[in-house]
């Protein structure tokens, strides 16, 4: 229902950001969308698909927020459990 897709807006950095999700069956009430026209977003859907599962929608939305904020709250280094990256041999 919202005008913008989730990846076409800039999420706030370094301040509180609240992401609210609507019901799978009805979404967020239109009155709420109209009250916040520049900050409401939607996930694009294929054809007549009604909605994604709510937990999938949350994962997509929250991941995009952290992606735009360069995953500052996350560990950036990949860690091997049984080997080290130094012992890796790269072959092309």
| Range scoring the smallest mean pLDDT among 7-11, 13-17, 19-23, 53-57 | 13-17
3-state secondary structure of 32: helix
Number of domains within the chain: 1
| pLDDT tens digits along 21-78 | 988 888 899 999 999 999 899 999 888 887 788 999 999 999 999 999 888 878 777 7
Residue 92 has pLDDT above 60, yes or no: no
Query: Looking at residue 73, what is its pLDDT?
Result: 78
- Tell me how far apart the alpha carbons of residues 81 and 11 are, in angstroms, rounded to a whole number: 34
Query: Looking at residue 29, what is its pLDDT?
Result: 93
Give the CATH number, domain containing residue 31: 3.40.1280.10
- Tell me how far apart the alpha carbons of residues 54 and 22 are, in angstroms, rounded to a whole number: 8
Q: What six digits make up the tokens of 64?
A: 């995009």
Query: Looking at residue 90, what is its pLDDT?
Result: 67
Q: Which range of residues forms the domain containing residue 67?
A: 1-92
């Amino acid at each position: 229902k919202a005008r913008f897709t989730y990846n076409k807006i800039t999420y706030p950095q370094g301040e509180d950001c609240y992401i609210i999700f609507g019901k799978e069956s009805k979404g967020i009430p239109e009155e709420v969308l109209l009250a916040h026209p520049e900050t409401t977003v939607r996930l694009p859907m294929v054809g007549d698909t009604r909605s994604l599962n709510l937990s999938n929608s949350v994962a997509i939305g929250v991941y995009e927020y952290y992606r735009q904020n360069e995953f500052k709250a996350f560990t950036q280094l990949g860690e091997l459990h049984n080997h080290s990256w130094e012992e890796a041999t790269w072959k092309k």
